[in-house]
Amino acid sequence: MKEIILDTETTGLSIKDGHRIVEIGCIELENLIPTKKRFHCYLNPERKVSEKAFEVHGYSDGFLADKKKFSEIAQEFLDFIEGKRLIIHNAEFDLSHLNNELKIIGKDMIKNEIIDTLVLARNKFPGSSISLDALCKKYRIDNSKRKQHTALIDCELLSKVYVNLTDQKEPTLNFQNKEFKAKKNLLKKILYYKKIVEIKNEEKKKHNIYLKTELKKNFF
């Protein structure tokens, strides 16, 4: 099963206020293990970044000015996520912005299967803080690189959180083949083993002589 860990950064919170995406990050998982396939881009939002958003991710208007527009990367992004389940923390936020960008350029909204890790965390830890940082702390995941919110770093952290939220463990390599396991199980069943050795007549005679002449008597 191939899945995509996805995160975005924006100029602000609400699309109703005209806010746009400034960064998209995606990491592909196959059977919960990250592959080498990633999608990442900074975007020119064609508007100013709000002060609060700048405090969160640190992307200035000057930094974003020469970046590609969403319309230039849209098809590449859609091809990357096609047919794969999307894993998003607070999916409503990211999807609203992504679908807004697609709407602006006349494309259909995202129809992928979605898993919202915020919902998973809320069900697993009712009443507890379920931010990405809080979940990293719960699962002892090192988030020291997360000085600010950046899409790829958040994706890397969320991939580890997701594995823990679904109560899965990273698979380990097993180099024991079936033949070795069968032999090992057979040996466990054998509690005692002895080999019968046949004694020759000459050895019996020598043994009897030894008992009569050489062996000291025990008077106790």
Q: Rounded to whole angstroms, how far apart are CA atoms 160 and 112? A: 21
Q: Rounded to whole angstroms, how far apart are CA atoms 3 and 5? A: 7
97 is catalytic: no
Single out the catalytic residue among 57, 89, 97, 149: 149
Q: Rounded to whole angstroms, how far apart are CA atoms 190 and 24? A: 61
Q: Rounded to whole angstroms, how far apart are CA atoms 122 and 36? A: 30
Return left, alpha or beta for 144; rule: phi > 0 is left, psi -120 to 50 is alpha, else beta: alpha
Q: Rounded to whole angstroms, how far apart are CA atoms 7 and 16? A: 20
Measured in degrees and rounded to the nearest 5, phi and psi for residue 133 equal -65, -40
Q: Rounded to whole angstroms, how far apart are CA atoms 162 and 135? A: 10
Residues noted as catalytic: 149
